[in-house]
A and B are shown apart, each in its own frame.
Chain A
């Protein structure tokens, strides 16, 4: 990859943290804070796009090293920033989600500086996870993200925010504690020399991790990451947390942060422990499928609009987890694509539910929203939610469809019954989405507490831009998934995964 692209990408993390620092430390009026925030997010997005374009010119499975310097020499830990196709997919997702999040948060007026400072600290951590190929560094960024999440929900959230924030923080921390234990084990088992994921993969292929080691190390690390990815039955923090969080945080949490868990599971557990995966694949696939069906089923009976979306996230992440344990190219690339796709769609859904509807209606109860005549008052919100709802259902033409069929194909190869159950989950998905759509926007109930424009504020320009941007993303990938698949599929065959194919995989 040429220098320009490499430089672009290596600037993303520092720029984001710099943005956070500037917003947090420099006194400026709220309007300026928002502009700086938008600027930081956009810079991150643009740098990511430029870097991806430059990376796309490289043929074959490539890993582009951006920055490598020794960090703790005696332990073999390096500050290693590098990307491959999968990393770049996630970096792009973060860019889009972050920008949309800032746009949807334009109306935050309480402690604005702290809000955006914490927001970008979180984003910086997320970017860092996706771009580090040193296991220690990856973990540092991963843990870094926990504290901003806590404060974002506890201070700016709604409903049971303090309880939800603590629950989310503790579950995440427990998950990362499990990963830490596993990480120490991996480090020592591989000779206590290196934390470089490429070198660890080489060692794994050479047989450094015995089957009995993998038998407990794999579930420890996979479940540890899986907790953050919403693996059933450790998912209960997700609906509570996402519903209590302010809109931008929900978008980030459901859209990007849950993907951190899946990404970590892919990079560490799946890539390094194929024998362990082979042993545990059925159990985890079962949990994933239960998550898909259970999440959808529970979403069907929710009375709180945001909880419907929260549980739908659990359901969609089930697809990601199912794809991760299929251990074939189609399933794995489907899982990564679903990570991107659901990130965008969740952003859209929370944008409508949290920002467009809740800010104006001040209620999340479906029974009350029914009587507000929202289809007349908020037509743009209605249109966006219809599109987002169909995308979430897995309607062809949107990104979710391609991702879900790939996961289904991959799962069928591994075990047909799981694919069938996942299909059932899709059906229930249609049901709950339609139910929410109907109840909120197309209800028959008389508009007793009609929301009229004014006093309901019209949909502002930032909200519209954010929504349109996300819709274009999901449509674009849905119609031409090659944009991402050409990045993802070669990446599955690069050095990071050499143990996987050589070991127990295809």
Chain B
């Protein structure tokens, strides 16, 4: 099978900056389905399009199960309406979660800054110069 569109696992790893282990994991989860030739795996254009979506979803913090559902929705013949609706809902939900995370992180930073200020004050009171 000589096809310009086919990539080996090594080429895939390089192109997408992922490990072979990650690709095998996604395959086991049936998120991608490379052609198997004995031990070898050959990745098609379809696998690459799916991997791109998977990695994008991961970056947003979507679960693999959510991503799998999104990928399946691509094949529904409804001009991607279901897929888009689901994407919109997921984005909304994730956005709310991240806003809470952001608030918590802000709070932690404020507390740490207060601790640093308190510590620096303590050191000044003992006449200890700040260390580098």
Chain B binds chain A? no
Chain A interface residues (CB < 8 Å from chain B): none
| A-binding residues in B (CB < 8 A) | none
